[in-house]
Amino acid sequence: MTISNNLFVKLKETLDKDDYTDINNLKNICFDYDKTYLKLEIDYKLNRDEKNSDNLNHINEFMLYEDNKLIGYIGIGSFGGDALEVNGMVHPDYRRKGIFTRLFSLVKDEFYKRKSNEMLLLSDNNSTGGIAFIKSLNCEYHHSEYDMNLDMNVIHEIKFDDLVFRKVVCDDINKIAKADFEFLNESDIEELLLSPTYIIKKDDALIGKTRLEINDNIGGIYGLEVLPEYRGKGYGRELLLLSIKELKEKNVEIITLQVETSNKNALNLYKTCGFKENYTMDYYRITK
């Protein structure tokens, strides 16, 4: 397809509902064509941005339009830790015309303006084009994650009856901030009350936390973590099962989570609780 001269790039700090609709429509077109997955996290971004009135002060959304049609998109996300995550797509009819390269050059410029020293580029392991583009940049392979879906027919039994599982409230913030959580940075702490974060406690002791998201009847379990001193005692399993129970009570149709392929202990836990591998997402690293 010949590209017209009516091209323009839209750069934004946050997504609005119109952006979300355009990106989601393009995502569905790409999936129908490629049968590979994208980790754009636009539901999470939209929900976060609607709740948080503060300006994010960074360009995170890179959109290229022909007239009023979105033909290319790359998004920057930060979901814990210091690394930025980057994922994107180009409409099947507009590929091999330098669109992704053009958008990525803007993403890379933004990366060098920020304090983060690491950027992770994501691609479905089965995406030939995505992996080829990343490798053309001479990126370093970092890790892979399984996306897993729960068999909703599996029956789970909660074993502990002395645990409290509830949403985070204001009084929890200082305790969470002081705790030794590996996957929790300063910006995450600031947004705890804005996101659906849950904690698990025994008496007055904080044991673990997780974030539960629901979008289009799909429940997601993210950042599930038990503090080091409570690991190996069955609390991780209970936190997972209580999370599943909470999502099922909200009548979700699918429950999903992600786990590093090398994390054998977590992978085994998830499988014994009824999760099955859906697809594999590869991560490649660029550093300054």
Q: Of the ranges 41-50, 158-167, 177-186, 231-240, which is most confident?
A: 231-240
pLDDT tens-digit series, residues 14-40: 999 999 999 999 999 999 999 999 999
pLDDT in tens, 80-129: 667 899 999 999 999 999 999 999 999 999 999 998 999 999 999 999 99
pLDDT top residue among 199 and 180:
199
Say whether pLDDT at 133 is over 90: yes
| CA geometry: angle 124, 128, 134, nearest 5 deg | 75
Q: What angle do CA 211, 213, 218 make, to 5 degrees?
A: 140
Neighbouring-strand partners of residue 11: 62
Q: Which tokens in the block code for residue 143? A: 């890790």
Structural domains in the chain, CATH included, are: 7-138 (3.40.630.30), 150-279 (3.40.630.30)
